[in-house]
């Protein structure tokens, strides 16, 4: 079956180098062996004629007319079989098939029986005459399959048995699948790796990996380097040398699981690792060349074949969309299944793979803990934030966006590197037809549409994302000296502060200002960024938020913290308690600056309150503060100097906050304010909607 110059061992079958006669002799010999010594004629010839007239004509049997003689026909069939056996030395495989099988045999260490079984399966799939003959052999059990293959291929029964048993090298590789479950027709008892594999082995003379490109293929070149993953440096400092030592030492059972939101760079990390390690990376395909999806079971067979083919090669295997395997759909017993249904088999695969496998998934929820513990390294790929996100934006689209858009993107929830790069690619493609002042808006529109489709919501407005130019802590009515607190935190580089008070009093803005004083990134999170309907996911999200902030050296600002720190004695559901417990644990361990803000101080858990180093009350502006801030905004609006009555009117508005001034300034864009009285009226209108607008509250 293989070419002598490529193989030291004697091939199972010689190759036909030019003439079709030797191949025809082989097909004829195999069909006649199936029909005569193996009894397949009982399903092919009856007193009424043939099961397939075309095959009978090919064999040269008499036509099934009114004078059809079954006994004479059987005699003729046995005669033709005897003639074929006398000429068996002239039978040979097609040269292309022989060469291809030789290449795979060399890669996978096949025996002569393995080669012969593979050749038979390929030709049964690609030659209609042999396929028709095999269809006549029914009720084939595993024991009968061994007898049939031994008889057709003229190979010792024990050798065939060693080839087709589940733990044989051929079957373990996934290249050939033998259905062991039930008696079936011979044509369905043996199954090749994919629908295209048999055709390629039969007709395409090429590299083994090229022939199997629909199931396992070389991965694309890396677009990023490991320097682009500085935000996970602590993990890379372990992962990179571990993979290097594992490859050099040919370690078995090396598996890495990387999970995270789509577009965070999981695939690019695998590509960058392979390039840094100087090894090949092969990816298990999720669809064939026709565009049809490959189910999880088929992809696992491809993985097993890849392991066999790469056993002597310096290589990694990439298995993307691992949820296909671990979250159902990979068993061929049921339409929906999971790795849990064949846990022992899956565990053995994870423990014995010869080439390291990097498994990627968008969701760790699909993983059974019993499988997770078998991965050497489990890495959650975080979204870029802080300085890493700023670097991404500057490199990918810095020349396309203005400062306002940049601020919005820095603050965007769920923004993945792939989303930024794809949007930038679109804009660069059409940049020559866009007005120069439109590129920033178009790129922002593309990114926002993607984020909304992913469920992250739109981008924050420029005013919210950026610290107002007029911000001054002296305009905040707090019960402590905020400038003094800020100076202390800048020196200590740590602190847990709870800011509480009515909406609009400047709590979030103070967090942004403090980050600028520390010259560190700000990680501003809202409840919607963290809360999940899935059990345990909220706690994991909380842990991730703190972990990312600490890794980035950022100020962590968590708004609406009352959602996580409610009094546990009032909890009605178990998950409400576990969320509070996780929040307390993370607060206790966090070494950086953590700022929590809330509008509702009542009802916070007492244990949580004790964990804050400082609790600062934000109130309504004092009269002098209200007037000073009024003057700042009046000048920014270009209004004339007011008279003394204006100050009196402003100081009488007892529920004024910095947020009210910001809202009125935004109104000015579409509802111009032309005088001081109009500005005062607009502020009074904002405050009139507040529940305590008629009461003198705050610090007056």
Q: Three-state SS across 429-467?
A: HCHHHCCHHHHHHHHHHHHHHHHHHCCCCCCCCHHHHCC
Q: What tokens were used for 584?
A: 């307390």
- For residue 192, the SS3 value is strand
Q: What percent of the chain is predicted at pLDDT more than 70?
A: 89
Distance CA 595, CA 549 (A): 12
What's the confidence (pLDDT) of residue 213? Answer: 85
Task: List, in sequence order, every residue forming a beta bridge with 619; answer none if it has no partner.
Answer: 477
Asked if residue 599 lies in contact with residue 502, where contact means CB atoms within 8 angstroms, the answer is yes
Residue 298 has pLDDT above 70, yes or no: yes
Q: How far apart are CA 506 and CA 658, in angstroms?
A: 6
Confidence (pLDDT) at 13? 45
Average pLDDT over residues 67-77: 90
What is the per-residue pLDDT for 212?
87
**Which residues, in sequence order, are CB contacts of 679 under 8 Å at separation 6+?**
630, 633, 634, 637, 639, 664, 673
Rounded to a whole number of angstroms, the CA Rg of the chain reads 37
- Reading the block at residue 650, the tokens are 């402003």
Q: How high is the pLDDT of residue 90?
A: 92
In the prediction, which pLDDT does 291 show?
66
Q: Which runs of E-coded beta strand occur in 538-638?
A: 555-558, 593-598, 614-619
* pLDDT given for residue 568 in this prediction: 56
Name the packing angle between helices 386-397 and 537-552 (round to 10°): 80
pLDDT above 90 (res 242): yes
Helix, strand or coil, per DSSP, at residue 417: helix
In this structure, what DSSP letter does residue 377 have? E
Q: Strand 555-558 to strand 190-192: parallel, antiparallel, or no bridges (unpaired)?
A: unpaired
Instruction: Give 253's pLDDT tier (boundaries 50, 70, 90).
Output: very high
- Higher-confidence residue of 65 and 463: namely 65
What is the per-residue pLDDT across 653-690, written as a single tens digit (0 to 9) for each?
999 999 899 889 888 888 899 899 999 999 999 898 88
C-alpha–C-alpha distance, residues 509 and 464, integer Å: 9
Region of poorest pLDDT, from 49-63, 123-137, 292-306 = 292-306
pLDDT (average), residues 462-488: 78
Res. 397: pLDDT tops 70: yes
Q: Per mean pLDDT, which of 46-50, 191-195, 390-394, 624-628 is the most reliable?
A: 624-628
The pLDDT of residue 173: 83
For residues 11-25, b (16+ Cβ closer than 10 Å) or e, as one string?
bbbbbbeeeeebbeb
Residue 333 confidence (pLDDT): 43
- pLDDT: is 587 or 115 the higher one? 115
Query: What's residue 97's pLDDT?
Result: 95
| Closest C-alpha to 420, from 230, 571, 264, 273 | 264
Who has greater pLDDT, 171 or 294?
A: 171
Give pLDDT, residue 16. 43
Q: What is the mean pLDDT of the chain?
A: 85
Using left for φ > 0, alpha for ψ between -120 and 50, and beta otherwise, residue 648 falls in alpha
- Least confident range from 98-112, 298-312, 598-612: namely 598-612
Distance CA 287, CA 293 (A): 4
- Which pLDDT does position 700 carry in this prediction? 35
**Tell me, what's the pLDDT at 365?**
73
State the Cα–Cα distance between residues 616 and 503, nearest whole angstrom: 14
Per-position b or e across 255-292, b if 16+ CB within 10 A of its CB: bbbbbbbebbbbbbbbbbbbeebebbbbbbbbebeeee
Confidence class for position 2, pLDDT limits 50, 70, 90: very low
> Highest mean pLDDT: which of 43-52, 226-235, 270-279, 512-521?
270-279
Which range (95-109, 334-348, 443-457, 598-612) has the least confidence? 334-348
Provide CB contacts within 8 A for 352, sequence distance 6+: 252, 253
Q: Is the pLDDT assigned to residue 488 strictly greater than 90?
A: yes
Helix 112-126, helix 95-108: angle, nearest 10: 140
Average pLDDT in the 192-207 region?
Answer: 89
Work out the burial of residue 531: count CB atoms within 10 Å of its CB; fewer than 13 is exposed, 13-18 middle, 19 or more buried: middle
pLDDT at 19 exceeding the cut of 70: no
Is the pLDDT at 697 greater than 80? The verdict is no
Comparing 9-23, 76-90, 558-572, the range with the smallest average pLDDT is 9-23
Mean pLDDT of 21-35: 94
Tell me the C-alpha distance between 54 and 157, whole Å.
Answer: 32
The whole-angstrom separation of Cα 54 and Cα 111 is 35
- pLDDT-based confidence at residue 319 (cuts at 50, 70, 90): very high
In the predicted structure, residue 320 carries a pLDDT above the cut 60: yes
Q: List the one residue out of 38, 201, 51 whose CA is nearest residue 135.
A: 51
Joined together, the tokens standing for residue 500 give: 């509480």
- Give yes or no for residue 472 having a pLDDT over 60: yes
Decide: 420 and 409 in contact? Cβ < 8 Å: yes
Q: What is the DSSP string of 473-527?
A: GGGSEESS-HHHHHHHHHHH--EEEEEESSTTSSHHHHHHHHHHHHT--EEEE-H
> What stretches of 239-366 adopt beta strand conformation (E)?
255-259, 280-284, 315-319, 357-361
DSSP 3-state of 266 = helix
Q: What is the mean pLDDT of residues 604-608?
A: 76
Q: What percent of the chain has pLDDT over 90?
A: 42
């Amino acid at each position: 079956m293989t070419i002598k110059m490529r193989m030291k061992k004697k091939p199972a079958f010689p190759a036909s180098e030019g003439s079709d006669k030797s191949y025809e002799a082989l097909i004829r010999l195999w069909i006649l062996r199936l029909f005569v010594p193996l009894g397949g004629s009982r399903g092919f010839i009856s007193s009424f004629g043939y099961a397939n007239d075309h095959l009978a004509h090919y064999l040269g049997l008499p036509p099934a007319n009114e004078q059809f003689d079954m006994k004479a026909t059987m005699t003729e069939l046995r005669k033709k079989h005897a003639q074929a056996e006398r000429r068996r030395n002239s039978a040979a495989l097609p040269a292309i098939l022989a060469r291809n099988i030789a290449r795979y045999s060399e890669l996978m260490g096949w025996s002569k029986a393995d080669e012969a079984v593979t050749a038979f399966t390929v030709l049964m799939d690609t030659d209609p005459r042999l396929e028709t003959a095999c269809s006549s052999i029914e009720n084939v059990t595993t024991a009968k399959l061994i007898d049939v293959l031994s008889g057709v291929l003229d190979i010792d029964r024990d050798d065939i048995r060693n080839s087709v048993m589940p733990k044989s090298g051929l079957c373990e590789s996934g290249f050939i699948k033998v259905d062991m479950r039930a008696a079936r027709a011979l044509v369905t008892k043996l199954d090749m790796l994919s629908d295209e594999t048999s055709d390629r082995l039969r007709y395409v003379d090429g590299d083994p990996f090229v022939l199997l490109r629909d199931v396992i293929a070389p991965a694309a070149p890396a677009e990023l380097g490991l320097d682009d993953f500085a935000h996970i440096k602590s993990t890379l400092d372990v992962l990179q040398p571990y993979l290097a030592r594992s490859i050099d030492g040919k370690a078995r059972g090396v598996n890495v699981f990387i999970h995270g939101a789509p577009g965070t760079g999981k695939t690019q990390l695998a590509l960058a690792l392979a390039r840094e390690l100087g090894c090949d990376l092969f990816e298990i395909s999720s669809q064939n060349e026709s565009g049809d999806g490959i189910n999880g079971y088929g992809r696992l067979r491809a993985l097993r074949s890849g392991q066999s083919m790469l056993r002597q090669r310096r290589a990694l295997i990439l298995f993307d969309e691992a949820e296909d395997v671990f979250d159902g759909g990979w068993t061929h017993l049921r339409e929906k299944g999971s790795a849990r249904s064949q846990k022992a088999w899956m565990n053995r695969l994870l423990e014995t793979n010869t080439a390291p496998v990097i498994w990627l998934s968008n969701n760790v929820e699909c993983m059974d803990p019993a499988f997770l513990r078998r991965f050497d390294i489990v890495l959650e790929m975080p979204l870029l934030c802080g300085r890493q996100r700023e670097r991404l934006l500057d490199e990918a689209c810095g020349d396309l966006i203005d400062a306002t858009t940049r601020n919005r993107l820095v603050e965007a929830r769920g923004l993945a590197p792939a989303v930024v790069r794809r949007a930038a690619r679109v804009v660069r493609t059409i940049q020559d037809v866009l007005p120069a002042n439109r590129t920033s808006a178009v790129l922002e529109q593309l990114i926002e549409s993607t984020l909304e489709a992913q469920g992250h919501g739109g981008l924050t407005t420029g005013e919210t994302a950026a610290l107002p130019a007029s911000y001054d802590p002296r305009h905040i009515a707090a019960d402590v000296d905020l400038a003094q607190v800020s100076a202390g935190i800048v020196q200590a580089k740590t602190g847990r502060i709870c800011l509480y008070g009515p909406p609009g009093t400047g709590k979030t803005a103070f967090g942004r200002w403090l980050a600028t004083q520390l010259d560190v990134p700000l990680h501003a999170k809202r409840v919607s960024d963290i809360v999940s309907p899935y059990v345990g996911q909220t706690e994991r999200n909380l842990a991730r938020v703190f972990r990312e902030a600490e890794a980035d050296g950022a100020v962590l600002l968590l708004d609406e913290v009352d959602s996580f720190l409610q009094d546990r004695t009032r909890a009605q559901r178990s998950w409400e308690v576990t969320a509070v417990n996780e929040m307390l644990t993370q607060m206790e361990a966090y070494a950086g600056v953590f700022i929590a803000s809330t509008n509702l101080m009542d009802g916070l858990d007492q244990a949580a309150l004790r964990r804050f180093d400082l609790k600062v009350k934000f109130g309504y502006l004092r009269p002098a503060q209200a007037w000073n801030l009024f003057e700042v905004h009046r000048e920014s609006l270009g209004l004339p100097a007011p008279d003394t009555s204006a100050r009196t009117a402003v100081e009488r508005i007892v529920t004024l906050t910095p947020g009210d001034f910001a809202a009125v300034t935004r109104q000015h864009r579409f509802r111009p304010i032309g005088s001081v009285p109009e500005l005062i009226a607009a502020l009074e209108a904002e405050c009139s909607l507040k529940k305590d607008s008629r009461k003198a509250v705050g610090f007056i």
